[in-house]
Structure 1
Amino acid sequence: MGMKDNGDFRIRRTPEKDGSDHSRHFELGIHVGNGRYATLDVTKTDLEYMRSQIGRALKQLKEETR
């Protein structure tokens, strides 16, 4: 079962951690078992980078399956 089915992945906006440079912050949580999550503090820029990397990986997969 994937993360989507298990609820093992979450992103939560954390405005209290926003920077004075207007950077936007989020908390990324990945379920690691027994109700526990590994959490990472990330910025909007980090999320945009992750999105581009995921897009690249999906594009490669699509090309492989042709």
Structure 2
Amino acid sequence: MGKKNMGFADRALFILGLTLAGVIAFVLVAGVVVAMLNVYVTSSFRSKRTKKPEALIEHAKQENAQEE
């Protein structure tokens, strides 16, 4: 059955199906792009704002010394 033999309702459903598939594909691709950008931005902020492990250990030693 070719497209020429399809009735109006079949053609409408076919076009709606292709449109829905396009929307779903766009949402999936856009979600992956946003997630990747979020990971990149979060990791770059995290690396700039957090202290190095050595600095954290030294800070913890100083707090323990003050408590004693």
TM-score range, shorter chain: 0.3 to 0.5
Give the helix-richer structure, 1 or 2.
2
Query: Greater Rg, structure 1 or structure 2?
Result: 2
